[in-house]
Amino acid sequence: MKTRIYKILKHTKVEGPGKRYCIWFQGCSRHCEGCWAKATWDFNGGTLYDTKEIVNDILLQKGIEGVTFLGGEPFEQPESLEYIAKEVKKAGLSIICFTGNQIEEIEYKYKNILKYIDILIDGEYQENKKNYSRPWVGSSNQKYHFLTNRYNEEEIKKYKNKIEVNIEKNGMIFINGMGDFEKISEMLNMPQSH
């Protein structure tokens, strides 16, 4: 099985609790106004990875608390998402997943995947509800759903929104985390990459 991926970060501390392996799926049909991840929209973009190799790579990482799935839209590649989530959960790692869908739609179509997810963060980014006061999310309509006992609402309050700036081997800058990307890009005098 192949999975189309926009970006993988093997270690990040700004996309959920603890140190995490982070996967941005490629492809999103929603096209929300103000989306800062437009580069993830194209279903023919990104890079095709062997899905088993992604899992093997995750399991090789030392000291990670879990995996975070973002996009793009992870549920637009449901077979890959289910396979990776299942294998990661077997290894005792936690799973955070972002989706532009509402949880009711996911429950209806993808119950088989939901059972592996510890926190589902649902709802598309809405520019007119921009709000960075809660961890990892950018607009006030987005909701955290604690689907297992691993995390809870009280516990995640200790996390603040932060960004990381990664300088790639090819000299490109990749910014991740949550914050006002427009302002950050202006400050760094660079085009937005997230």
Q: Report the interface residues with ligand SF4, using CB under 6 A.
A: 28, 30-32, 35, 37, 40, 71-73, 100, 124-125
Tell me the closest approach of the beta carbon of residue 46 to ligand SF4, in angstroms.
13
- Tell me, what amino acid is at 57? D
Tell me the closest approach of the beta carbon of residue 171 to ligand SF4, in angstroms.
26
Tell me the closest approach of the beta carbon of residue 60 to ligand SF4, in angstroms.
28
Distance from the first to the final alpha carbon of the chain = 26
Q: Which of 145, 71, 69, 132 is nearest to 102 (CA)?
A: 145
Q: Which is nearer to ligand SF4, 21 or 125 (CB)?
A: 125
Q: Which is nearer to ligand SF4, 46 or 100 (CB)?
A: 100
- The alpha-carbon radius of gyration of the chain (Å, integer) is 16
Q: Which is nearer to ligand SF4, 66 or 100 (CB)?
A: 100
Q: Which is nearer to ligand SF4, 28 or 55 (CB)?
A: 28
Tell me the closest approach of the beta carbon of residue 107 to ligand SF4, in angstroms.
18
* Longest CA span, the chain: 44
Tell me the closest approach of the beta carbon of residue 21 to ligand SF4, in angstroms.
19
What 3 state SS string does 49-97 have? EEHHHHHHHHHHCCCCCEEEEECCCHHHCHHHHHHHHHHHHHCCCEEEE
Q: Which is nearer to ligand SF4, 75 or 116 (CB)?
A: 75
Question: How many residues are present in the chain?
Answer: 194
